[in-house]
Amino acid sequence: MLIEKLQRLGTAASWDSCGGVTQKSVRKSGIPPNYSSFVHDCSASSEKCRLMKVLQTNTCEHDCRYCVNSTCSQRKQSLEPKELAGSFMSLVRQGYVTGLFLSSGVGGGVKKAGENMIESARLVRKKYGFRGYVHLKILPTMPKSQIEEMSELANRVSLNLEAPDKTRFSELGSTKDYRRDLEKRLRWIDKLRGKNLMKSFTTQFILGAGGESDLEILGKMSELYGKTQLWRTYFSAFEPVKGTALEEMEGERKIREHRLYQSDWLMRVYGFELKEVKNALNEKGNLSLQRDVKIAVASGMPEKFPVDVNSAGREELLRVPGIGPVGADRLMKAREQSRIKETRQLKACGVIVKQALPFVQLDRESQMRIENFCT
């Protein structure tokens, strides 16, 4: 039955992050409860769409030690391109989804798996004339010609690196080569960005399964943002799955995901350098799970604070906890009219006052001692 295939393949696709997913809003939208495994609301993320999110097949020849799709303990299912495209367009017509997120296991060889994904996307675009959001997952070992075809059909593609380097990656499986099968293909994708329909690409790391530190993840992120046009990084905290090689391993805490997303935001949006974010790391190279990353970074650079909100440049303001790009711009505009002297003026500009006060000067006076705030 088609609905059972979609449910199973939707559940199998849950390990791929697509940002801001909220199933609560899906339920409120009147979408049938039995669609919840393959319909995902991303209205809380920059995609601003509701996705049909599935695998083309959950059969896979790779031996990823954390992944249920690499085992034989589950029922194998596949969607033919016509089934997938038809199901998606049916959901579009009913108003249940506005975009497609398609990944796949590697069953029958990577070329065959890629052909099925490409044919599904081609049917959606060419036969049905869909012009909305399509995200296609690039498969490791996929030939360059197929990656090029995907870039002509998708608004965004992604390739999961899973680990920050070859050594950590070897802990996760043995059938893929980190440099040849992943990093090389990421460079191909980087060169294709903007040349066809594909405007951006992303990657994802598995946290906790390979024993990596946050410093290793941050270092790889810094390298990617510096050398490629990577749009953003996603994280997935490892969860042990029965039937996999790592089923007895302890799962990673979700708060670690959150701290790394905070770090990614600082580096990608605020322009922080890796050397600044390192101030938030402990002696083992990990972020505190109990402390906001931006506050930890600022506390590690006491020589940079307090910042005078009436004279600081935009970069300096962005280093202050509680001040984001919008707040910084509003502060700079407000102080053209009058000096910022009171906390209510900070609040009016969108500043999170409680976080900012230890790190700013108002009318040349510090608001409180930073060391008191940090203890």
Residues 250 and 149: their CA atoms lie apart, in Å, by 40
Q: Which residues contact 169 (CB under 8 A, 6 or more apart)?
A: 161, 162, 163, 176, 178, 182, 210
Higher per-residue confidence, 370 vs 79? 79
Higher per-residue confidence, 323 vs 366? 323
pLDDT score, position 49: 81
8 Å CB contact between 85 and 127:
yes
373 pLDDT more than 50: no
Q: What is the mean pLDDT of the chain?
A: 91
172 pLDDT more than 50: yes
List the domains of the chain with CATH numbers.
Answer: 2-252 (3.20.20.70), 301-374 (1.10.150.320)
Burial class (CB in 10 A: 0-12, 13-18, 19+), 122: middle
Which helix (H) or strand (E) covers residue 237, if one does? strand 232-237
pLDDT score, position 41: 83
pLDDT score, position 375: 43
pLDDT score, position 169: 96
Residues 185 and 211: their CA atoms lie apart, in Å, by 24
Q: 44-66 pLDDT, tens per residue?
A: 555 568 899 999 999 998 988 88
Report the SS3 class of residue 165.
coil
pLDDT score, position 331: 96
Where does residue 309 fall: left (phi above 0), alpha (psi -120 to 50 degrees), or beta otherwise? Answer: alpha
Q: 215-253 pLDDT, tens per residue?
A: 999 999 999 999 999 999 999 999 998 888 899 999 999
8 Å CB contact between 66 and 206:
yes
pLDDT score, position 368: 54
Higher per-residue confidence, 65 vs 275? 275
